[in-house]
Amino acid sequence: METVIYTVLPGNTLWGIANFFGTSVEEIAAINNLSDVELIYPGQEIKVPVGKPMAPRYYVVRPEDTLYAIASRYGITVGDIQKMNKLGNPNLIFPGQILKLR
């Protein structure tokens, strides 16, 4: 199982970290021998098993982005992005545009 070392930031929760990295609270707790999943603190380094990153709710298009690249990065389809954002032409996106991804 591949892992990364993550430094906990203020406001982080294990649920949020697990959600971001595509894993579960239980997996993070087990790999770090955490008995209380509510007790993490800023600056703490934890091992996180890496899965497929979950798509953020919204995404801001960057220069050189394509719908295909965005979809591939988050494991969703171009068609899904088009439908959620009512996009006619998948080739017409622009930097700064906000796209709904889930």
Grouped pLDDT means (10 residues each) for the chain, 102 residues: 89 89 89 93 93 76 92 88 93 94 87
pLDDT of residue 22: 78
pLDDT at 42: 96
Query: pLDDT value at position 51?
Result: 64
Dist CA 1 CA 37 (whole Å)? 21
Length of the chain: 102
In angstroms, the Cα distances linking 69 to 18, 30, 53, 93 are 23, 33, 14, 12
Per-residue pLDDT at 96: 94
Question: What pTM, to 2 d.p., does this model score?
Answer: 0.53
Longest dimension (CA), the chain: 50
Distance CA(56)–CA(102), nearest Å, equals 7
How far is it, in rounded angstroms, from Cα 62 to Cα 34?
Answer: 38
What pLDDT does residue 53 have?
A: 63
